[in-house]
Amino acid sequence: MPDNPEANDRPVIAVSDSPPAWLPEAISAGGCQVGPLADADGYVHLTGPASLPHLPARVRWVQLPAAGIETYLADGRLDDRRVWTSAAGAYSETVAEHAVGLLLAGVRGLVVAAGLRTWRGKAVADTVSGLADTTIAVVGAGGIGRRVVEMLAPYRATVIAVNRSGRDVPGADRTVAAADLDELWDQVDHVVIAAPQTSHTVRLIDAAVLARLRPRTWIVNVARGGLIDTDALVDALAGGRIAGAALDVTDPEPLPDGHPLWTTPGVLITPHAANPRAGLEAALADRVRDNATRFASGRDLIGRIDLTAGY
């Protein structure tokens, strides 16, 4: 126990076994103290749902390490007896940057150029376009999506943000409620997917949607692979109905060797690499510190999970 008597007034936060050095430092910087789970007011979990321990009733807050929490929901580990927080928004900078990079790689012909083994200037030039005067839908305007909207500002594109509420997203030319998303597919040139995976968003991009998109459309997915019907995507790409797909996530994931996505023209795959480990740890440390500070002072926590909504 800490030698400082005032430490007794600080909330006790338990941590996963063998925590990295930054975790207790972040908890302490947030005005809490690290202690055993039996005495804990809160708990910070760093791995998957299978290793989540039995939590005493006195634990009032649990911080999870990921932005997407569908595996925890599927495992039935989240309950309404305490507050659960995800890392939603914590990784927005690096993931949004990756999303814009993927989109540029598609529209600027880099995907085609990367596969060349001989000089074929016309083959690349025929695939090159730009973002100016195009319409881009950012589906899922949470932390990542909002940052994508901000990063697209210099490219002179019309950006449509899609969120659950339909409330205006700063920087977007237009904001549309998720319930009205079906009206958009005929109006957009490119799609960036940054939405959580829930029962309402699984296979959001299916054969019917792909049939309505434009031949020059690039789809970028930095959310979860299950938001796209993979078989329908392969068919649309093979048939030339859309220009391409740049995917940091896939369904299935990891994508098996020999899967058609690896060899389908117009596909760029980065293996869930939008959030590099060094950046992930720094961002998660900031989130733990910020939420520990809020927990200690009784304020609302960042990234609070809505169990009904699924994120």
Residue 14: band (very low, low, confident or very high) from pLDDT cuts 50, 70, 90 = very high
My answer on whether 233 and 121 are in the same domain is yes
My answer on whether 45 and 77 are in the same domain is yes
What's the confidence (pLDDT) of residue 7? 58
My answer on whether 106 and 171 are in the same domain is yes
What's the confidence (pLDDT) of residue 6? 52
- Distance CA(1)–CA(3), nearest Å, equals 6
Residue 304, in any domain of the structure? no
In this structure, what CATH number is given to the domain that contains residue 174? 3.40.50.720
Which positions are catalytic?
224, 253, 272
- Distance CA(235)–CA(88), nearest Å, equals 32
Please give the mean pLDDT across all residues of the chain. 95
My answer on whether 85 and 104 are in the same domain is no
My answer on whether 232 and 283 are in the same domain is no
My answer on whether 65 and 181 are in the same domain is no
My answer on whether 84 and 99 are in the same domain is no
Q: Residue 35: which domain range? A: 5-90+277-297
Residue 83, in any domain of the structure? yes
Residue 193, in any domain of the structure? yes
Residue 307, in any domain of the structure? no
Which residue is it, tokens 């999303």? 99
My answer on whether 142 and 265 are in the same domain is yes
My answer on whether 174 and 194 are in the same domain is yes
- Distance CA(94)–CA(97), nearest Å, equals 5
My answer on whether 81 and 20 are in the same domain is yes
Residue 306, in any domain of the structure? no
The domain total for the chain is: 2
Q: What is the pLDDT of residues 231-255, one digit of tens each?
A: 999 999 999 999 999 999 999 999 9
Residue 285, in any domain of the structure? yes
265 or 1, greater pLDDT: 265
Query: Closest Cα to residue 291, out of 12, 14, 27?
Result: 27
Query: Quick one: tokens of 12?
Result: 């006790």
What's the confidence (pLDDT) of residue 8? 67
Residue 154, in any domain of the structure? yes
Q: What is the pLDDT of residues 206-231, one digit of tens each?
A: 999 999 999 999 999 999 999 999 99
Q: What is the pLDDT of residues 74-131, one digit of tens each?
A: 888 899 999 999 999 999 999 999 999 999 999 999 999 998 999 988 888 988 999 9
State the DSSP string of 276-287: -HHHHHHHHHHH
Q: How many CB atoms lie within 10 A of CB 248?
A: 24
Residue 302, in any domain of the structure? no
My answer on whether 195 and 235 are in the same domain is yes
pLDDT(2) > 60: no
Cross-strand bridge partners of residue 107:
none
Confirm if 47 and 26 have CB atoms less than 8 A apart: no
My answer on whether 52 and 33 are in the same domain is yes
